[in-house]
């Protein structure tokens, strides 16, 4: 699926959750090298702190207009007790995107898009969707199809592995063998419509080796990046979801080979003793575009 040209290509290797109630953490964000930040009004904020968190968020966005990383605000469900006020606060901040939790059906995306339209929100405010319930998994294909509409704001799926474990009773173990089919379903649904997909969090931020291993596994699955709970995880995520020097060199070689006059009209060529098809050229071009985007973000 070709990416909608109205959807900006962004580097989303490392996406850090920060509680909107934590002013000290938000004040330190400018010094971090993560690609994106999710300001959390949902799970990370206690019920009694919701109002204060919204005010802290408004203050932060008011005081920090320029930023190098993408800024996303996760709100509570629109149909819940805090969702409407969260939405209005997020809309006023004008983030790059609003992250919708517990998206179960495509109507959840429609409701959010209608709410943004009713408040004359600029099209630059995109929507991200948490896929973290059994219903969300089962309906991930139809939810993703919303992005097929050229006017849709849907930009990204985020796997909510902790909630999936809670809702299904499945245990999160090293290698996540039980979760792999579900995670691949999320990636496949996102890829079908050309939006991004982010892996869930690694809970034990002190286990750097385990985290690095899971990042490598997630990159192999096709995820664009990983959601994080601690700044110490940023470097490993950036490394795992960046093309290696070898991959970049190989992609450039494939591009150069097909650019040769004798190969321009060929569907398949031989390069370094290997068969290379035009589909490999497409893969190479996407990898090089991602490499450029990562460079622009740094």
Question: What is the chain's pLDDT, residue by residue, as a tens digit (298 residues)?
Answer: 445 555 667 899 999 999 999 999 999 999 999 999 999 999 999 999 999 999 999 999 998 876 779 999 999 999 999 999 999 999 999 999 999 999 999 999 999 999 999 999 999 999 999 999 999 999 999 999 999 888 899 999 999 999 999 999 999 998 999 999 999 999 999 999 999 999 999 999 999 999 999 999 999 999 999 999 999 999 999 999 999 899 999 999 999 999 999 998 899 999 998 999 999 999 999 889 888 888 765 5
**pLDDT score recorded for residue 10:** 87
Fold designation for 14-240: TIM Barrel (3.20.20)
pTM for the structure as a whole: 0.91
**pLDDT score recorded for residue 1:** 44
Q: Are the beta carbons of 225 and 197 closer than 8 angstroms?
A: no
Class of residue 130 by CB neighbours under 10 A (exposed 0-12, middle 13-18, buried 19+): buried
How far apart, in whole angstroms, are the C-alpha atoms of residue 41 and residue 54? Answer: 7
**pLDDT score recorded for residue 64:** 82
Q: Where in the chain is the domain with CATH 3.20.20.60?
A: 14-240
Nearest CA to 186 among 226, 153, 138? Answer: 138
**pLDDT score recorded for residue 6:** 55
CA dihedral 165, 170, 173, 178 (to 10 degrees): -110
Q: Where are the alpha helices (DSSP H) in 74-149?
A: 83-93, 106-118, 134-138, 140-144
How far apart, in whole angstroms, are the C-alpha atoms of residue 240 and residue 19? Answer: 25
How far apart, in whole angstroms, are the C-alpha atoms of residue 50 and residue 41? Answer: 7
Q: Are the beta carbons of 289 and 243 closer than 8 angstroms?
A: no
Q: Any idea what DSSP says for residue 103?
A: -
How far apart, in whole angstroms, are the C-alpha atoms of residue 212 and residue 179? Answer: 18
């Amino acid at each position: 699926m070709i990416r909608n040209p109205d959807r900006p290509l962004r580097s989303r290797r490392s996406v850090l959750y920060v509680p909107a109630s934590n002013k000290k953490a938000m004040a330190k964000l400018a010094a971090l090298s993560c690609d994106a930040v999710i300001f959390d009004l949902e799970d990370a904020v206690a019920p009694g702190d919701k109002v204060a968190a919204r005010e802290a968020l408004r203050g932060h966005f008011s005081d920090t207009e320029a930023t190098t990383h993408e800024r996303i605000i996760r709100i509570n469900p629109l149909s819940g007790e805090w969702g409407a006020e969260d939405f209005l606060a997020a809309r006023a901040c004008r983030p790059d995107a609003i992250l919708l939790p517990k998206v179960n059906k495509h109507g959840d995306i429609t409701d959010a898009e209608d709410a943004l339209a009713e408040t004359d929100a600029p099209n630059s405010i995109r929507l991200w969707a948490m896929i973290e319930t059994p219903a969300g998994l089962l309906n991930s294909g139809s939810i993703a199809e919303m992005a097929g509409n050229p006017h849709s704001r849907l930009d990204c799926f985020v796997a909510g592995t902790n909630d999936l474990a809670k809702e299904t009773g499945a245990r999160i173990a090293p290698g996540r063998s039980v979760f792999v089919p579900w995670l691949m379903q999320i990636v496949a649904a996102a890829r079908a419509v050309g939006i991004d997909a982010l892996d869930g969090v690694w809970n034990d931020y002190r286990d750097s080796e385990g985290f690095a291993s899971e990042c490598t596994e997630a990159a192999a699955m096709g995820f664009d990046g990983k959601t994080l709970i601690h700044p110490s995880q940023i470097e490993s995520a950036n490394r795992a979801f960046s093309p290696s020097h070898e991959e970049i060199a190989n992609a450039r070689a494939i591009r150069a080979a097909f650019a040769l006059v004798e190969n321009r009209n060929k569907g398949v060529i031989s390069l370094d003793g290997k068969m290379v098809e035009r589909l490999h050229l497409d893969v190479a071009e996407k990898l090089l575009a991602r490499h450029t985007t990562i460079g622009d973000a740094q």
